[in-house]
Amino acid sequence: MSKWFEKGLNFDRWLLAAVLVLCFFGLVMVYSTSTILAMDKYNDPYFFLRRHIIWLFLGMGLMFITMRFNAERIRAFSGVGLILAVGLLILVFYLPPIKKVHRWIDLGPFLFQPSEFARLALVIYLSHSLAKRKDRPIEFFRHTLPNFLVIGIVAGLVFLEPDLGGAITIGLVGMVLLYVGGVRKTHLGLAGVLGLVGAVYSVLKEDYQWERIKAFIDPWQFADNLGYQLAQSFLAFGSGGLFGVGLGMSHQKLYFLPDAHTDFILSVIGEEWGFIGVMGVIIVFGIFITRGMIIAFLSPDQYRCNLALGLTAMIGLPALVNMAVVTGLAPTKGLVLPFLSYGGSALLINMVAVGILLNVSAKRFQR
């Protein structure tokens, strides 16, 4: 067992503290943003909070297990994990759609989103695959192309659900790992162009995605329809001012701002906690990303370096995209704010990822 689970490890306390702060602040904000909706829809003000607590403590349990699980041993399951992830992504297309899309697997009281697990499986697989090359010259057909195909398959299946935002995030995380792994910039540039062409084609093909672009360009012109959500987000931030209107006192969560407890929870934080609260959230995420990068750069081998950077990007990129969306810096995407938004699958997988990252952090001075 000692080969699999380790004792006496010196974890990165700054990273762990940042995650715990975000998680417990998330509990407060999930309760604040969901009480009215839960009471109206389920006659239970604690409906969303109770489920979020279950997912959080389950995730924390898995985090404390994986933070002592030897990250090197995870390599043995990288291929199996990827195959399982692809299988689950295919399975959703044979199950009844939920909210008119094929993104979730219905587990009774909970919904599981395979694309969240797929991001983690992809990071582990690419970290292992890119580290196998060691000091040998990188070859396109032997090293680059197979990894491009893997990223394309995973991102393509998520894109077909349809989930353009999730597919873009997976593609970006994959590109970060390939860049660190030494893939030529010309190959990365070509892949980026192909991905951009695919995204543009999707926007032009799907009316709802084109509507999001129009709402992003001028939300106030379409404030009564296409740009309603973004306009309400702006009003929430504007109402909060410097110090906010106070915890629980948000007006936008009273059915004015859709998805107040999920995608747009930062808008309510801006209203209730003001500019100070939003900056606090940004600073804590900044600490998480910075510590993740430090862990990667101080890792004792290429595999752990890849793994740390991939896990940091897997959590950090969606956070940055979500912040950009709610502040009008990017078109609306269905991405939650890690650790803060209500949601089971994303929270659970992110906590597992943090556990692995903490294990890597304990080895950063061992060479």
Half-sphere exposure of 1 (CA within 13 A, CB side): 2
> Does residue 4 have a pLDDT over 80?
no
pLDDT at position 1 is 43
pLDDT at position 181 is 82
Would you say 294 and 304 are in contact if contact means Cβ atoms under 8 Å apart? no
DSSP per-residue codes, 175-226: HHHHHHTT--HHHHHHHHHHHHHHHHHHHHH-HHHHHHHHHHH-TTTTTTTT
> Does residue 118 have a pLDDT over 50?
yes
Q: What is the mean pLDDT of residues 21-27?
A: 95
Residue type, 293: M
- pLDDT tens, position by position, 123-134: 999 999 888 766
Question: Is 202 exposed, middle or buried (CB count within 10 Å of its CB: 0-12, 13-18, 19+)?
Answer: middle
> Does residue 164 have a pLDDT over 60?
yes
Question: Is 96 exposed, middle or buried (CB count within 10 Å of its CB: 0-12, 13-18, 19+)?
Answer: exposed
Whole-angstrom distance, CA of residue 212 vs CA of residue 168? 16
Tokens of 359: 């294990």
Segment among 22-36, 184-198, 237-251 with least mean pLDDT: 184-198
Q: Where are the domains of the chain?
A: 13-361
pLDDT at position 5 is 66
Helix (H, G, I), strand (E, B) or coil at 135: coil
* pTM of the complete model: 0.91
Residue 255 pLDDT class (50, 70, 90 cuts): confident
Residue type, 294: I
> Does residue 364 have a pLDDT over 70?
no
Question: Is 197 exposed, middle or buried (CB count within 10 Å of its CB: 0-12, 13-18, 19+)?
Answer: exposed
In angstroms, the Cα distances linking 108 to 104, 105, 111 are 12, 9, 7
Whole-angstrom distance, CA of residue 257 vs CA of residue 259? 7
Would you say 240 and 271 are in contact if contact means Cβ atoms under 8 Å apart? yes
Q: What is the mean pLDDT of residues 294-307?
A: 91
DSSP per-residue codes, 226-272: TTHHHHHHHHHHHHHTTT-S-TT--STTTTTSTTTTTTTHHHHHHHH
pLDDT at position 141 is 65
Closest CA to 20 of 274, 275, 284: 284
Q: What is the mean pLDDT of residues 237-245?
A: 91
| Mean pLDDT score across all residues of the chain | 87
Residue 137 pLDDT class (50, 70, 90 cuts): low
> Does residue 367 have a pLDDT over 60?
no
Whole-angstrom distance, CA of residue 196 vs CA of residue 291? 31
pLDDT at position 135 is 61
Would you say 255 and 264 are in contact if contact means Cβ atoms under 8 Å apart? no
Residue 2 pLDDT class (50, 70, 90 cuts): very low
Residue 312 pLDDT class (50, 70, 90 cuts): very high
Residue 195 pLDDT class (50, 70, 90 cuts): confident
pLDDT at position 100 is 80
φ, ψ at 57 (rounded to 5°): -75, -30
